Amino acid sequence: MKNTHHALKKSEQKLAFLLLLPSFIVLFTIAFYPLGSVFTKSFTNERFASSKKTEFVGLENYQKLLSLKIMELDPIGMDEQGSIIYEDPIDILPRKPNRYKEVSQFSIFNKHFVFSATDPDFIQSIGDTLLFTILSVSLETIFGMIIALIMVKNFPGRGGMRVAMLVPWAIPTAVSSKMWEWMFSSTRVGVVNVVSQWFGITNGQFPWLTNADTQIWAMIAIDVWKTTPFMALLIMAGLQTIPKGIYEAAKIDGCNGWQNFWKMTLPMVKDTITVALVFRTLDALRVFDLFQIVFAQKRYSMASYSYYQLIDNKLMGYSSATSVIIFFIILLFIIIYTKMSGGVNNE
């Protein structure tokens, strides 16, 4: 009896394997083969569309991408206002084998330091993309939640409001990016400058998209505008699964709206929110179109930097190495989320 059971199990396994085989083949050709090829290319100096001989260069690409250095700057004098002038980082940062370039300067305990990297653009693109991801996804979740809570209520004109809410999400990113580029225009052609001049914040001539301090905030604003509807839609779907009865029961028990939200609504849409968060985080980490269209070569997301190295500089090997690093950063986020959502399910 046990034997036949065993044999049956075995043959079923075989069948399962055979049934899965086509999917594995497809998965292998479309996922693992390109990934593996990017991985191997990242150890070479291959050029895109070139007959130049490709050589194995070991970890050179990674070394150039990821070398960081912090050095102390010595004071060399004072200016008229009495603030200390420090030596120019260009003069003290090492130049061989790869030149270190300044990313930023900072002071701790009365000492002044320069933070430098051999590829400051890439380091900055990682920082920018992480900041962009964390802030835009958080804001989208909060605004999405608020909108969803309003939209599930019954009020006159709700259908129309739902359609209006979805408009930003329905516009292709290429179009909305261009639209926002005009709105952020550096003269009073752009509405952002007109409005900020009304309030006396700028003189109507502020270059929002070229000023290093405002660039990322402009990106976040565009993304929040565009993707909040998506968040709201997902959360709304979660809210609609909550049975109305429990709210009536809570009303009888004398709960106020605030308690309702924290003790019932939020825990019951938690899983939906987790799914939405995973989705949006991974999406935001590989953001490409928004940065490419609005900034081109001015500032990069990780993905648009990789594109720049491949297409503009034709450095296939180097670009592959950036892709591999991006892959591991995203993988890290996936692992964190998987651990966290595993915790949710076990509760």
Partner 1 sequence: MLNIKKLTICLVIMLSFITTNVFASGQEEATMMEEDSKTITVAAGAVGTEFELAQDAAAAYMEMHPDVTVEILQTPDLTTDRLGLYLQFFESQSSEVDLYQIDVIWPGDIAEHLIDLNEYGAKEYTDAHFPSIIQNNTVDNRFVAMPWFTDAGLLYYRTDLLEKYGYNEPPTTWDELEMMAEKVMQGERAAGNQDFWGFVFQGNSYEGLTCDALEWVYSYDGGSIVEPDGTISINNPNAIEALEKAAGWVGTIAPDGVTGFAEEDARNMFQAGNALFMRNWPYAYSLGNSEGSAVKDKFGVSPLPSGKNNIRAASLGGWQLACSKYSKNPELAADVLFFFTSYEQQKKRAIEASYNPTIIDLYEDSEVLEATPFFGTLKDVFTSSVARPSTVTAPQYAQVSKVFYENVHDVLTNESTAERAVKNIELDISDIIE
Beta-bridge mates of residue 112:
73, 107
* Stretch 308-347: interaction string toward partner 1, x if CB under 8 A: ---xxxx---------------------------------
Render 165-202 in DSSP notation, one character per residue. Answer: HHHHHHS-HHHHHHHHHHHT-SSTTSHHHHHHHHTTSS
Of the residues 6, 9, 10, 11, which one makes contact with partner 1 according to CB under 8 A: 11
* C-alpha span between 44 and 58 (Å, rounded): 7
Of the residues 122, 208, 300, 305, which one makes contact with partner 1 according to CB under 8 A: 208
Distances (CA, A) of 141 to 35, 232, 276: 32, 8, 9
Consecutive H or E run containing 281: helix 266-285
Q: Would you count residue 64 as binding partner 1 (CB under 8 A)?
A: no
| Cis ω for the linkage preceding 267 (within 30 of 0) | no
* Residue owning tokens 């779907």: 237
Of the residues 9, 10, 99, 178, which one makes contact with partner 1 according to CB under 8 A: 99
Tokens, residue 54: 């490709």
In the bound complex, what is the minimum distance in angstroms from residue 255's beta carbon to partner 1?
Answer: 53
Consecutive H or E run containing 77: strand 75-78
In the bound complex, what is the minimum distance in angstroms from residue 239's beta carbon to partner 1?
Answer: 42
Number of residues that bind partner 1 (CB under 8 A): 40
Q: Would you count residue 179 as binding partner 1 (CB under 8 A)?
A: no
Of the residues 24, 28, 33, 48, which one makes contact with partner 1 according to CB under 8 A: 48
Stretch that binds partner 1, among 162-170, 202-210, 242-250, 330-338 (CB under 8 A): 202-210
* C-alpha span between 227 and 340 (Å, rounded): 23
Longest dimension (CA), the chain: 96
In the bound complex, what is the minimum distance in angstroms from residue 205's beta carbon to partner 1?
Answer: 4
Phi-psi region of 199 (alpha: psi -120 to 50; beta: other; left: phi over 0): alpha
In the bound complex, what is the minimum distance in angstroms from residue 83's beta carbon to partner 1?
Answer: 17
Q: Which is nearer to partner 1, 71 or 150 (CB)?
A: 71
Q: Would you count residue 207 as binding partner 1 (CB under 8 A)?
A: yes
Of the residues 1, 2, 4, 18, which one makes contact with partner 1 according to CB under 8 A: 18
In the bound complex, what is the minimum distance in angstroms from residue 129's beta carbon to partner 1?
Answer: 19
Spatial CB neighbours of 90, under 8 Å, sequence gap ≥ 6: 102
In the bound complex, what is the minimum distance in angstroms from residue 161's beta carbon to partner 1?
Answer: 36
Tokens, residue 184: 């952020």
Q: Which is nearer to partner 1, 60 or 140 (CB)?
A: 60
Spatial CB neighbours of 174, under 8 Å, sequence gap ≥ 6: 289, 293
Q: Which is nearer to partner 1, 287 or 315 (CB)?
A: 315
Judged by CB under 8 A, the chain residues 254 through 313 that form the site for partner 1 are: 296-298, 311-313
Tokens, residue 249: 């029961």
Of the residues 55, 72, 74, 88, which one makes contact with partner 1 according to CB under 8 A: 88
User: Chain centroid to CA 157: how far?
Assistant: 35
User: Under the rule (CB under 8 A), what is the footprint of partner 1?
Assistant: 11, 14-15, 18-19, 21-22, 47-51, 88, 90, 95, 98-99, 101, 185-189, 193, 203, 205-212, 296-298, 311-314
